[in-house]
Amino acid sequence: MPKRGAPPLDADLLQGTLDLLILQSLLLGPAHGHTIAHVIEHRSDEVLQVEHGSLYPALHRLQNRGWISSEWGSSENNRKARFYRLTAAGRKQLLRQTGRWEQLVAAVNRVLRPSRGRA
Amino acid sequence: MIWKRFFKRRARREEAAAELEAHLEREAAENMERGMARDEAKRAAHIKLGNTTRILSEISEQDSFGGLETLWHDLRYGARMLVKQRGFALVSLITLALGVGANTAIFTVVDALLIRPLPFPNANRVVVAWERRMPDGERQNVTSPANFLQWQRENTVFERMAAIFNDSSILSGGDIPEQIATASVTPDFFSILGVNAAIGRVFVPGQDENATANPEAVLGFEVWQRHFASSATVLGTKITLDNKPYTVVGVMPRGFDFFIKQQSFSHKKPEIWVTMHFSAETRASHGRYLQTVGLLRPEVTPAQAQSAMIALASRIEAQDPASMKNWSVNLVPLRMQLTGDISGGLRLLLAAVGLVLLIACANVATLNLARASARRHEIAIRIALGASAKRVVRQVLTESCLLALMGGAAGLCLGCACLSLLKSIAPANLLPPESMSLDVHVFAFAAVVSIACGLLFGIIPAIDAVRVAPREPLQEGAGTVSAGKRRGFARQMLVTAEVAIALVLLTGASLLIRSFHRLTTVDPGFDPQNVLTAWVQFPNARYQKDEEKSQFFARLLDAIRALPGVRSASADGFLPFAGIIAATGVQVEGRPVLPISQLPTVDVSIVEPGFFETLGIPIISGRSFNRSEAFAASGSVVISQSMAQQLWPNESPIGKRVTIYMKRENKPSTVIGIVGDVKHAGLAGAVRPTAYWSYPELGFQFMSLVIRTQGDPRGLIPALRDTVLRVDRNQPIADVVPMETLLSMSVARTRFATRVMAAFASIAFLLAIVGIYGLVSYDVEQRTREIGIRMALGAQRTSLIGQMLKRGMGLAAVGVGLGITASLGLTRLLTSILYETRPNDPLIYLLDSMGLLALAFLAGYVAVRRISSIEPTAVLRRD
């Protein structure tokens, strides 16, 4: 549940954003889908709501591209769970996408600021 | 890599399902930790995750090939849907099959006859050159050697020209002599068409001058097989035609034939071609008997050629007014010449085919529209359950494709069947013998049109349904009282149009049938039953003197009369319905003498004694020829009733004298009898005044035997052949056919066109009825609830049935009205081919409209009958 007054954003809104967030959250170590979703929400102070429904197809897609790998294991409380791990290719991809993301943010900011200044 | 995933997709899907399950459990556990009740915790987890089916399908889509997997699912689903809706599927299939199949068959025929290039390399540059009688006489008249040679010498538009004379000759040298159709052609003939021999060579152009001494022959493929056992050694050998030797120089390829029927002396396709040479005497002859063809120079258009030739013709006319006064020239492109007399009929069929295709498309559209409305509910549910819009539309498209392809396949089968049916009922010589299989392009055309129609009308409503789904239709639920009024309008329009088109076809076919019936009940003027006819022609050289010819026929007829089963026998120069006729001017003695061109004309034939009695032509007054008149020209003439009325309207012609301009020296003949009129030129033709001489007056080289038999005339054929050979062992007979066959052959094309039109009209009729049935039954289905409510409120079943029927019949009536209006305009195009039938015959319109309405009523009634089984309580409880 979002704590702030601002409405939560759908992480899937921006094409490729979800992929980036997943890769980033796996940087710390292997995790299963549920954890990934909550890590993303938690780290964004729950501004970014991960739609769980689109999380799994995205994981599947990243795995098909060879950026993450998966294996079945036991979770903290001894439940069977599928753990995802960042591959070397995924690490490279993360760096590249982060760079591109920053460029995008900077560009958008450049566009937005002057208009704000006028207002 | 994707392959591996593809083959493991089932395991991967299960894995993903397990993963989602684990996710749900974990989420629910967390929710419970936050203090939710177990059930609510689970529910919240589900809501948060979303539609698992959708997620799984999204995942497994990544593991499959593009749409292959989806396609397979859609196909299976589509097939199940079609099996479930058997009625819809079957009607669609039949509609498509009829629309595509019948159309393809007819298109194939039209294509083979009109569109496909002629099998001659130069075909597009070949024109037929006719003389034309000005101002409004025969437009396609044969020409004379003198005129042809002048055209050939002085024209500026043709590369070369050739003359053709279709003849009939006796091919001897085998066990029995054979009467065979031949053509004399000038040496340029084959090079004008651009064809070559399969074996040996064709005639060498420009060889005319020195080859007279050594006449050459080119054999057709079939006569080569039949008569010469396909032997290659036939080249260079001599064959005998009409007692004259010809050297065989070549054999034409299989399927080569060239025959222009217009004013041809022989009415059969030639099988042997021989070189034509003009003697010094014939070079100057103005007797008209030659057909001529020319090869246009490459840069010359037919129109330019026409005007250049007209200029040449007026020059010739000025030079030689005695022979050429009022004769001009008329060029006809070869294709037009060869297809001219049938293209009208074929265009008619093509138009009918187009209309049937329209109806088929309208039916497919109606069916799809009706079903689409029914499917709105289904689509809404599928979207509510998580199907993506793209996916739904795609599924509907697959289903429509499936149906369309099945329809196309059924159409292909039906088309093949139709084509062989067409071939079997088509009159001889109408269709090219072989090489006519269902045309791929043609099939593709019809298939694409109707399939596109099916897809279009299948997919538009689906898109429409997806747009409003899932909310609207589900809210409407089964509870709508009358749904989709807006969409119903398109269907009603289509069905109305269908009825109208069907009526147009129906009236067209009815008119043709009525006309054909009128035609076949025409009295030909004689009794054609149990009469055998045969063609006897002997070479000029055989019987030099007139007495010999007369004696030959007298001996032959006596021998035939002596055969068992023969009641009487005679012979005629020009048999009714056989095609050829000679006409000339006549001058009645004692009346003002007029130039030949202003005299009344009559047909002239020569007959053996007993001719009128044998054919059953009534002798109205006077007498017919006696036996002595069969041996020597007596100057007697028997005239037909119409000739008597034309020349002697107010007096008895018997004993009157009339000069018939048919010979070199014409003396007056005395009228000895009047006989009934005969429809010589065919049943549809007008009666023409006719004069009959006895045989010796003209002493033709050919006569047609007419033999009245006791039973089936075919039984006499072997005995007749033997008898002829016994009288002269070198004399064959040809065209041995019963008179009734000649009669029915003369109307064969009309019969063919009528039958095909009738078939089209039936198909159209059927489709329109199916359309009405579909419309009304869909209407009933849609309004089941409304009907239930009304009945619960006390409405009578019968009045409800009446109301529903009225809607259907209202549309049918509007369709009939439109149809009548359209028919009145369109059937006028039939005027030229109808025999004694007015295109706006009110009786036919009345009967056809009533018939269509009656069957529409029946179809509507069958559809509406379901109302009587509707239980109001059941309907109301259903929601």
Query: Which of the residue ranges B510-519, B769-778, B855-864 would you say has the lowest mean pLDDT?
Result: B769-778
A38 falls within a domain: yes
- The answer to whether position A56 is within a domain reads yes
Task: Report the residue of B1, B8, B14, B23 to disrupt the A interface, i.e. the one with the largest count of A CBs within 10 Å.
Answer: B23
Using DSSP's 3-state secondary structure scheme, residue B39 falls into: helix
Q: Do B25 and A79 touch (CB under 8 A)?
A: yes
Would you state the pLDDT for residue B478? Answer: 46
Distance CA B772, CA B863 (A): 9
C-alpha–C-alpha distance, residues B436 and B107, integer Å: 11
What is the reported pLDDT for B481? 43
* Sign of the alpha-carbon dihedral angle for B443, B446, B448, B454: negative
Of A22-36, B70-84, B381-395, B766-780, give the range with the top mean pLDDT: A22-36
B800 versus B270: the higher-pLDDT residue is B270
- With b for 16 or more beta-carbon neighbours within 10 A and e for fewer, the B836-855 pattern comes to ebebebeebbeebbeebbeb
- Quote the CA–CA distance of B770 and B356 in Å, as a whole number: 13
- pLDDT tens for B807-842 read 778 888 999 999 999 888 888 777 777 788 888 888
Structure confidence by residue, pLDDT tens digits, B445-457: 767 776 777 777 6
What is the reported pLDDT for B530? Answer: 92
- Residue in the structure block whose two tokens are 């329109």: B768
Report CB contact under 8 Å: A52, B19: no
A&B contacts, CB < 8 Å: 48
Residue indicated by tokens 């023409």: B688
What pLDDT score does B270 carry? 92
Q: Is residue A105 part of a domain?
A: yes
Distance from CA of A72 to the nearest CA of B (A): 10
Tell me: pLDDT of A16 over 70: no
Distance from CA of A81 to the nearest CA of B (A): 7
* pLDDT given at position B10: 76
DSSP B102: I
User: What distance in Å separates the CA atoms of residue B783 and residue B776, rounded to the nearest whole number?
Assistant: 11
What does the pLDDT average to over B590-615? 85
Average pLDDT over residues A13-28: 78
Comparing B3-7, B216-220, B797-801, the range with the smallest average pLDDT is: B3-7
Q: How confident is the model at residue B566, as a pLDDT? A: 92
Q: Which positions in chain B have a beta carbon within 8 angstroms of at least one beta carbon in chain A?
A: 5, 15-16, 18-20, 22-23, 25-27, 48-51, 54-55, 58-59, 62
A72 vs A83: CA distance, rounded Å: 6
The C-alpha atoms of residue B195 and residue B512 are separated, in whole angstroms, by 41
Determine how many CB atoms are found less than 10 A away from the CB of residue B539. 17
Of the listed ranges B243-252, B679-688, B818-827, the one predicted with least confidence: B679-688
* B435/B738: higher pLDDT: B738
Tell me what the mean pLDDT of segment A67-88 comes to. 82
Give the residue, B377 or B601, on which the prediction is more confident. Answer: B601
Instruction: Quote the mean pLDDT of chain B.
Output: 82
- B230 vs B782, which has greater pLDDT? B230
> CA nearest B207: which of B261, B266, B276?
B276
Residues of chain B positioned with their CB less than 8 A from the CB of A40: none
**pLDDT over 50 (residue B786):** yes
The residues with which B127 forms a beta bridge, in sequence order, are B294, B333
pLDDT number for residue B870: 73
pLDDT of residue B209: 53
**A52 part of a folded domain:** yes
pLDDT at B137: 73
Distance between CA B68 and CA B257 in Å, rounded?
53
Q: Do B22 and A34 touch (CB under 8 A)?
A: yes
In chain B, pLDDT over 70 holds for what percent of residues? Answer: 88
Nearest to A56 among B5, B19, B48 (CB): B19
Say yes or no to pLDDT of B608 above 80: yes
Using a 10 angstrom Cβ sphere, with 0-12 exposed, 13-18 middle and 19 or more buried, the burial of residue A68 is buried
Backbone conformation region of residue B429, classed left if phi is above 0, alpha if psi is from -120 to 50, else beta = left
The residue of chain B nearest to residue A77, with distances taken between CA atoms, is B26
Collect contacts of B174-178 with beta carbons under 8 A, ≥24 apart.
Answer: B174/B227, B176/B725, B176/B732, B177/B730, B177/B731, B177/B732, B178/B227, B178/B732
Indicate the pTM of the whole model.
0.63
Higher pLDDT, A47 or B38: B38
Which pLDDT score is estimated for B271? Answer: 92
Is the omega angle on the peptide bond into residue B473 within 30 degrees of 0, that is, cis?
no
Please tell me which of B464-468, B600-604, B623-627 the model is most confident about, judged by mean pLDDT.
B623-627
DSSP string, B107-171: HHHHIIIIISPPSSTTGGGEEEEEEEETTTS-SSB-B-HHHHHHHHHH-SSEEEEEEEEEEEEEE
Chain B contact present for A53, CB below 8 A: yes
Closest C-alpha to B101, from B408, B404, B365: B408
CATH assignment of the domain containing A66? 1.10.10.10
The percent of residues in chain B predicted with pLDDT above 90, rounded, is: 19
Nearest to B329 by CA among B158, B189, B208, B184: B158
With respect to residue A16, please indicate whether it lies within any of the assigned structural domains.
yes
Question: Do A39 and A1 form a contact (C-beta atoms < 8 A)?
Answer: no
The pLDDT tens digits for B301-342 are 999 999 999 999 999 988 888 778 888 999 999 888 887 666
**Between B835 and B605, the higher pLDDT residue:** B605
CA B360: distance to chain centroid? Answer: 21
Give the structural domain span for A24.
Answer: 12-118
Interface contact flag, B20 A56, Cβ < 8 Å? yes
Check CB contact under 8 Å for A51 and B50: yes
For A96, residues 6+ apart whose C-beta sits below 8 A from its C-beta are none
Q: How many structural domains is chain A composed of? A: 1
B528: tokens are 């054609």
pLDDT tens column, A98-117: 888 888 888 888 888 765 54
In tens, the pLDDT along A27-58 reads 888 888 888 888 888 887 777 777 777 888 88
pLDDT over 90 percentage in chain A: 0
Sheet holding A31-32, edge to edge: A31-32, A80-86, A68-74
